[in-house]
Amino acid sequence: MTSLFLFGASEGGLFDFDATLPLMAVQVVLLTFILNTLFFKPVGKVVEEREDYVTTSRAEAKQKLAEVERLESDLKAQLKEARLAAQKVINDAEQDSDKLYREAMALATAEANSSREKARLEIDSQREAALNQLKVDADKLGDLIVERLLAAK
């Protein structure tokens, strides 16, 4: 009891320094040790595993995103090249068809001119033949008229 008066506390007061304080300290240390081994370490381990998983997942996602962006740029470049190639093919086809059209038109014009020239030559020859026939017929008719006029005198 003398120890209680030395600290200035009375029995049953706010601070009671008997065997309760060391007992409570041992209980807190024991409870901390038990909680640490049974609860905090497994939870900490799970938290660390999840953090590692999130970190690796995030790194993998960044890698995949970089790969996707690279593939996207490659595909865009391939698409651009394909469009240019298709445009070139279209232009070549248009030029070829235009060339074929002009060649066909020139051939048709040449054939038409040739046919027209043949027809003109044929018409000229038929006209010459008809004129010659008319001359022959006119000469015969003139001779016949002269003969009848002379015979009538």
Domain ranges of the chain: 2-152
pLDDT band for 61, please (50, 70, 90 cuts). very high
How many residues are listed for the chain in this entry? Answer: 153
In 3-state terms, what secondary structure has residue 18? coil
* Residue 17 neighbours by CB under 8 Å, 6+ apart: 3, 4, 7, 9
pTM exceeding 0.85: no
* Residue 7 neighbours by CB under 8 Å, 6+ apart: 15, 17
pLDDT of residue 1: 44
| pLDDT, tens digit, 9 for 90 and up, residues 13-47 | 555 566 677 888 899 999 999 988 888 888 889 99
| Closest to 12 (Cα-Cα) out of 28, 1, 26 | 1
